[in-house]
Structure 1
């Protein structure tokens, strides 16, 4: 049986995984390349490793939620990401769901038992 710290860490990672999808979609309402996206997530309190971010970006793009293009900036090629029209629509739906879930959790956890 895992100790409390191991269990907490596993549950924390599971909770963060879904939250990061929502955070990435929200952050990409403004076009960004990987480094600036990662920095903005970290600044908001949601750090993510490069090894997790780039596969997530590729998956979201494959799902049609993001668009990307390579451009030269500062003599370096960078891949810029932005929400697609479908991504904007899905982000709105996910935010509604997130708010509903958040409200429900607050009601459940604020009850006096």
Structure 2
């Protein structure tokens, strides 16, 4: 495995959980898949559609998101929103992220 492949593998592992947290935070305001993809990318989270849509379905199945169809426009869209359980989990994950960030900064001698 080359250096680029090794880096890509580890970056993917590092980012996997952060995308879950980012979705829970961003979907506190209702949003649909394509707009969420765009918003994630603009906020620094490069996510492929083939990753995002299964993630949204999984989070909904876990009760962390709710969804409803909007059929007011010519093309129906499924809107997602973070549930109360999802909001609570996002808070827990955010606090843990902050602790990890502090710990990593300490390891790097930045504190």
- TM-score, L = length of structure 1: 0.92
Partner deviation per Cα, 1:29-64 (whole Å, 9 max, x = no partner): 110011111111011011211100000001101111
RMSD over equivalenced CA pairs, Å: 1.1
> Which residue does 2:64 correspond to in 1?
65
User: Which runs of structure 1 show a deviation greater than 4 angstroms over 4 or more consecutive aligned residues?
Assistant: none
- The 1-side partners of 2:52 and 2:72 are apart by 21
C-alpha change, 1:109 and 1:73, in structure 2 (3 Å) is farther
Q: Cα offset for 1:6?
A: 1.3
Equivalent residues, number: 110
- TM-score, L = length of structure 2: 0.94
Q: Cα offset for 1:109?
A: 1.5
Q: Gaps spanning 5+ residues in structure 2: where?
A: none
Q: Secondary structure at the match of 1:110?
A: coil
Q: Secondary structure at the match of 1:47?
A: coil
Q: Gaps spanning 5+ residues in structure 1: where?
A: none
1:14 aligns with 2:10: no
